[in-house]
Amino acid sequence: MTLVPHKKAKALKPSSRRPAKELCSECGLCDTYYIHYVKEACAFINQQIPELETQTHGRSRDLENEDDLYFGVSQDMMAARKTEPIPGAQWTGIVSTIAIEMLTRGMVEGVVCVQNTEEDRFQPKPIIATTPEEILAARVNKPTLSPNLSVLEQIEQSGMKRLLVIGVGCQIQALRAVEKKLGLEKLYVLGTPCTDNVTRAGLQKFLDTTSRSPETVVYYEFMQDFQVHFKHEDGSTELVPFFGLKTNELKDVFAPSCLSCFDYVNSLADLVVGYMGAPFGWQWIVVRNDRGQEMLDLVQDQIETQPVMSKGDRRQAVQQSIPAYDKAVTLPMWAAKLMGVVIEKIGPKGLEYARFSIDSHFTRNYLYVKRNHPEKLEQHVPDYAKRIVEQYKLPD
Ligand code: FAD
Ligand code: SF4
């Protein structure tokens, strides 16, 4: 790949320019002069996960190995939770804790993370945090597309040489593609899995359609018990079964970028912290390389861990959900609740739940790309995702 020095790209900066057009996930790269690299770097223009895996981890995933196929390159995987959770964190706050340790021990000079604006708890405000307080203020998901990479120019201007970036897959793919241009001596990447993200307007529609009190929702998560958990300002939790979601109204809510994403598990981060491969209440940790292990080691005395487990068989449930989603079938609430209870008892658990979620999203997204961007299908869908999708019978 031939790259021209990025400083020459200043003139190309109009922030409204988004070469990925409707597939843009607002990752922020195009708000900076690194827009010059967008054709190579953008996750939605140039899918290059295997190449960047090799650059980052020293190898790409082995498609014959089931863990690699589904969860990407890894050297360790476990379930974990903080013995003293951080109040107000998305789960137990492992992400914020690692970031604070890295900063206070001097491993990094700054942390790219995302706070919210003063007016709106769900409006993302990416920052380079230089104090533990600023990192803590970024805890909890902003479940909206967030331009985290918009701060990349400030890194170079600040003269920082050691940096931690926290982000989701599309942000991290673009970051890895321009990593060598940032002038850093050391870059650590702490990733979270990510799926079904929305614009701020889309989020409002989701909350209005799904929650009993949209204006008091503090955070929500699609949990392993097949229910959406909404936490409200008064501390109460509202549960809505997946199968009761108003699919017909919500089908268009998810951002087109997320409907065409095949990097659910954040393949290019050094360390991934999510929940979907862990038992309910626990976080799921994937250590991809030695840098990731170095980061996790910092918090070993603040977490309890257990080995990952896997139970059940997802395949039939995934196959049945494909036409149901396609036809936007919505069950009456009593049936949705009943189905939720049954599937919670006999359904997939642990890593099998993670595979259930990956299969469901990859089949849906494959159909989306095939129908809406057929010319992109071959290059955009990575081989591992093709192999996963091939297990199922898809409608045309
Ligand atoms: P905290 O300590 O609360 O820290 C959260 C961190 O997330 C903060 O540092 C903040 O900078 C960062 N962040 C917040 N919003 C965004 C954003 N929009 N873009 C980038 N970074 C952000 N895990 C799964 O297993 N399956 C999923 O489907 C899944 N979907 C997710 C969707 C989104 C949009 C996000 C941001 C995360 C998702 N996760 C998912 C990860 C999971 O919800 C938790 O974020 C993760 O387990 C860390 O929890 P924590 O308590 O350690 O994080
Ligand atoms: Fe630019 Fe990022 Fe949008 Fe791609 S996803 S067009 S790199 S802002």
- The structure tokens 């009456």 sit at 332
* 135 alpha carbon, closest ligand: 1
* Domain presence at residue 25: yes
Q: Whose CA is nearest to atom 1 of ligand 2?
A: 30
- Distance in angstroms (rounded) separating the CA atoms of residues 208 and 215: 9
* 274 alpha carbon, closest ligand: 1
Check residues 279 and 332 and name the one with the higher pLDDT: 279
Give tens-digit pLDDT for 99-141.
999 999 999 999 999 999 999 999 999 999 999 999 999 999 9
Q: What region, left, alpha or beta, does residue 326 occupy, with left being phi > 0 and alpha being psi -120 to 50 degrees?
A: alpha
* Domain presence at residue 76: yes
Which residues form the pocket of ligand 1, taking CB atoms under 6 Å from any ligand atom? 89-96, 113-114, 124, 138-144, 146, 148, 166-168, 192-195, 197, 221, 273-276, 283-284
The C-alpha R_g of the chain, in whole angstroms, comes to: 20
First to last CA, the chain: 36
What integer pLDDT is reported at residue 332 of this predicted model?
65
Domain that holds residue 48: 14-197+261-309
* Domain presence at residue 375: no
Range scoring the smallest mean pLDDT among 69-73, 176-180, 197-201: 197-201
What integer pLDDT is reported at residue 335 of this predicted model?
65
Ligand 1 centroid – CA 112 distance (Å): 13
What integer pLDDT is reported at residue 290 of this predicted model?
98
pTM of the model: 0.93
Beta-ladder partners of 125? 115
Atom of ligand 1 nearest to the CA of 277: 25
The yes-or-no verdict on residue 13 having pLDDT over 70 is: no
* Domain presence at residue 186: yes
The yes-or-no verdict on residue 9 having pLDDT over 80 is: no
* 17 alpha carbon, closest ligand: 2
Give how far Cα 10 sits from Cα of 33, 65, 101, 159, 250, Å. 5, 44, 36, 19, 39
What integer pLDDT is reported at residue 10 of this predicted model?
44
What integer pLDDT is reported at residue 6 of this predicted model?
45
Atom of ligand 1 nearest to the CA of 197: 34
* Domain presence at residue 272: yes
Averaged pLDDT score across all residues of the chain: 91
**Which of 25, 27, 29, 90 has most ligand 1 atoms within 8 Å of CB, for mutation?**
90
Ligand 2 centroid – CA 33 distance (Å): 12
Ligand 1 centroid – CA 141 distance (Å): 5
What integer pLDDT is reported at residue 329 of this predicted model?
65
Confidence of residue 12 (pLDDT cuts 50, 70, 90): very low
The yes-or-no verdict on residue 291 having pLDDT over 80 is: yes
Ligand 2 centroid – CA 48 distance (Å): 15
Which residues form the pocket of ligand 2, taking CB atoms under 6 Å from any ligand atom? 18-20, 24-27, 29-30, 38, 42, 44, 170, 174
What integer pLDDT is reported at residue 263 of this predicted model?
98
What integer pLDDT is reported at residue 142 of this predicted model?
93
Atom of ligand 1 nearest to the CA of 89: 3
- Distance in angstroms (rounded) separating the CA atoms of residues 394 and 355: 17
Q: How many domains does the chain have?
A: 1
Ligand 1 centroid – CA 33 distance (Å): 27
Confidence of residue 4 (pLDDT cuts 50, 70, 90): very low
At residue 223, what are phi and psi to the nearest 5 degrees?
-95, 170
* 358 alpha carbon, closest ligand: 1
Residues 6+ apart with CB under 8 A from 87: none
What integer pLDDT is reported at residue 216 of this predicted model?
95
Tokens, residue 328: 């936007």
Do residues 203 and 122 lie in contact, with contact meaning Cβ atoms separated by under 8 Å? Answer: yes
Confidence of residue 359 (pLDDT cuts 50, 70, 90): very high
Tokens, residue 25: 């996930």
Ligand 2 centroid – CA 18 distance (Å): 6
Range scoring the smallest mean pLDDT among 11-20, 210-219, 273-282: 11-20
Ligand 2 centroid – CA 150 distance (Å): 10
- Give the rounded percent of residues in the chain with a pLDDT score beyond 90: 78
The yes-or-no verdict on residue 72 having pLDDT over 60 is: yes
* Domain presence at residue 372: no
Range scoring the smallest mean pLDDT among 78-82, 248-252, 391-395: 248-252
Atom of ligand 2 nearest to the CA of 31: 8
**Which of 12, 13, 30, 170 has most ligand 2 atoms within 8 Å of CB, for mutation?**
30
Atom of ligand 1 nearest to the CA of 275: 25
Ligand 2 centroid – CA 45 distance (Å): 9
- Distance in angstroms (rounded) separating the CA atoms of residues 243 and 233: 25
Tokens, residue 6: 């990025």
Residues 6+ apart with CB under 8 A from 26: 18, 145, 146, 147, 257
**Which of 24, 26, 34, 152 has most ligand 2 atoms within 8 Å of CB, for mutation?**
24
What integer pLDDT is reported at residue 11 of this predicted model?
40
The yes-or-no verdict on residue 186 having pLDDT over 70 is: yes
- Distance in angstroms (rounded) separating the CA atoms of residues 293 and 172: 18
Give tens-digit pLDDT for 316-341.
889 988 887 777 666 666 666 666 77
Residues 6+ apart with CB under 8 A from 367: 326, 394, 395
